[in-house]
Amino acid sequence: MTSPPYKLQVEDLTVGFGHGRRARTVLHGVSTGVRAGQTLGLVGESGSGKSTIAKAIVGIHPVRAGRVLLDGADLTGLGRRELAAVRRRVQLVSQDPYASLNPRMTVGQAVAEAVDPARADARKHAAAVERWLETVALDGSAAGRYPHEFSGGQRQRIAVARALAVGPEVLIADEITSALDASVQAEVLNLLEELRRSLSLTMVFISHDLAVVRHVSDEVAVLRHGELVEQGPAHDVYRAPQHPYTRSLLASAPTFEEPGASHASAEAEDLEEKEEAV
């Protein structure tokens, strides 16, 4: 059986910062992609270039060489207007929801702006705003409050609601659960998984937390010093990593060092598979 084509793909992506003697290349010809309706987990140590890939995809960082393809169409070199339309199809949610939420806008205004960027009229879009807030398990009354009135986990939900209200086909989640404590992290992850299924989203999930990535990903790509060292089905990469760097990454993750941990997680996985089959 042949694999379906990539929904979102980067090809030989090279990104750098600075000029002249200060020029520095951060991504060295990275090629990776995610298939429609699936989740790609992007892992690697701090500074390996994970966020840089995300930001280059959505056009925040300029691409020095290579291509970014959405449904096979190259996004690099698009004009401003075309790019604006494409950007609505790929939404990025980052670790710090403050970065995407204007502190002077109510949550309702922020979500209304996502629904209709030309006229951020929260009243006109009240029903849509309420629906999106409820989609991320927040009360509709949240619309009248400001971002600082919410907890970290709630703010992250608001950022997800705002991104989804745009109507994207691809959601890139960059370390969105890293600042949350374990129980809130699990809630946000479960919510994301539900939304991915119900909205048929394609997702790129970026995290340095290998256990979290394993939990949510169909495929996993491993980045090291701006180069892709390995990509494959999550199951294979975790059970039989091919690259020595992936092996060392897995070995240094506490979850995988614990005696019996892999056995326990294999059992949990078998259970999940059985539940899915029912």
Ligand X SMILES: Nc1ncnc2c1ncn2[C@@H]1O[C@H](COP(=O)(O)OP(=O)(O)OP(=O)(O)O)[C@@H](O)[C@H]1O
What minimum distance in Å lies between the beta carbon of 110 and ligand X?
Answer: 24
User: Is 262 buried (19+), middle (13-18) or exposed (0-12) by CB count in 10 A?
Assistant: middle
Nearer to ligand X, 33 or 44 (CB): 44
What minimum distance in Å lies between the beta carbon of 175 and ligand X?
Answer: 6
What minimum distance in Å lies between the beta carbon of 25 and ligand X?
Answer: 9
Q: How far apart are the first and last CA of the chain?
A: 24
Nearer to ligand X, 96 or 121 (CB): 96
Letters for 27-56 (x = contact with ligand X by CB under 6 A, - = none) are -----------------x-xxxxxxx----
What minimum distance in Å lies between the beta carbon of 169 and ligand X?
Answer: 23
Q: How many residues make contact with ligand X (CB under 6 A)?
A: 11
What minimum distance in Å lies between the beta carbon of 174 and ligand X?
Answer: 7
What residues have CB less than 8 Å from 237, skipping those under 6 apart? 219, 220, 222, 230, 231, 246
88 closest CA partner among 115, 68, 54 = 115
What residues have CB less than 8 Å from 206, skipping those under 6 apart? 41, 42, 43, 50, 51, 53, 54, 172, 173, 174, 175
Question: 55-83 in b/e burial notation, b at 16+ Cβ within 10 A?
Answer: bbbbbebebbebbbbbeeeebbebeeeee
Nearer to ligand X, 178 or 262 (CB): 178
Which residue in 8, 13, 26, 180 binds ligand X (CB under 6 A)? 26
Letters for 189-218 (x = contact with ligand X by CB under 6 A, - = none) are -------------------x----------
* Kind plus residue range of the DSSP H or E element containing 163: helix 152-165
Q: Are the CB atoms for 88 and 166 separated by under 8 Å?
A: yes
Q: Are the CB atoms for 138 and 158 separated by under 8 Å?
A: yes
Nearer to ligand X, 43 or 165 (CB): 43
CA distance 99 to 207: 18
Checking DSSP bridges between strand 24-35 and strand 65-70, what pairing results, if any? Answer: unpaired
Nearer to ligand X, 25 or 262 (CB): 25
Q: Does the protein bind ligand X through residue 108 (CB under 6 A)?
A: no
Q: ∠ CA(57), CA(58), CA(60), 5° rounding?
A: 105
What minimum distance in Å lies between the beta carbon of 208 and ligand X?
Answer: 5
Nearer to ligand X, 62 or 117 (CB): 62
CA distance 119 to 127: 15
Which residue in 4, 5, 12, 17 binds ligand X (CB under 6 A)? 17
What minimum distance in Å lies between the beta carbon of 82 and ligand X?
Answer: 24
What minimum distance in Å lies between the beta carbon of 163 and ligand X?
Answer: 18
Q: Does the protein bind ligand X through residue 9 (CB under 6 A)?
A: no
Residues found near ligand X in the complex (CB under 6 A): 17, 26, 44, 46-52, 208
